């Protein structure tokens, strides 16, 4: 079975600082990968997804970007954080060919921008 690691688990950053969140997947190859954000209040918003190395699709225009430098690595970045970037960032993986099509989530990274 696959395991999804995210780090850091928690971080506090000042407005205007850069950001890098990392997600790595073990136990499967060539997964589809996703970044979701959950702001205070609960809803989940899809930010980016990737179907392969170097392939990134953006769902929401904003000051965030994503990259997939390796098959099982997905990175979320920002050059300058805004207060509104605070939230719980979740990386998810979908195993291609699995009939269920469900997403499996990592442990999350909680970002507070001050």
Partner 1 sequence: ELKVEQNPLFLSMQEGKNYTIYCNYSTTSDRLYWYRQDPGKSLESLFVLLSNGAVKQEGRLMASLDTKARLSTLHITAAVHDLSATYFCAAWAQGGSEKLVFGKGTKLTVNP
Decide if 110 contacts 17 (C-beta within 8 A). Answer: no
Residues 67-86 that bind partner 1 (CB under 8 A): none
Rounded-to-integer distance, Cα 53 and Cα 56, Å:
8
Residue 11 in contact with partner 1, rule: CB under 8 A: no
Closest separation in Å from C-beta 14 to partner 1: 23
Residue 99 in contact with partner 1, rule: CB under 8 A: yes
Q: Pick from 1, 14, 40, 43: which binds partner 1 (CB under 8 A)?
A: 43
**E strand residue ranges, the chain:** 3-7, 10-13, 19-26, 32-38, 44-52, 55-58, 64-70, 73-78, 87-94, 104-105, 109-113
Residue 32 in contact with partner 1, rule: CB under 8 A: yes
The residues near 101 (Cβ < 8 Å, ≥ 6 apart) are 94
Nearer to partner 1, 22 or 110 (CB): 110
Residues that bind partner 1 (CB under 8 A): 32, 34, 42-44, 46, 49, 51, 57, 59, 90, 99-108, 110
């Amino acid at each position: 079975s696959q395991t999804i690691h995210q780090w850091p688990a928690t971080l506090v950053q000042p407005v205007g600082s850069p950001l890098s969140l990392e997600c790595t997947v073990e136990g499967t190859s060539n997964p589809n990968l996703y970044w979701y954000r959950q702001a205070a209040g609960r809803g989940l918003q899809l930010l980016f997804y990737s179907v392969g190395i170097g392939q990134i699709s953006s769902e929401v225009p904003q000051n965030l970007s994503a990259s997939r430098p390796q098959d099982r690595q997905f990175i979320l970045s920002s050059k300058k954080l805004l207060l509104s970037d605070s939230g719980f960032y979740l990386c998810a993986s979908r195993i291609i060919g699995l009939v269920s099509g469900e997403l499996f989530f990592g442990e999350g990274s909680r970002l507070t921008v001050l």
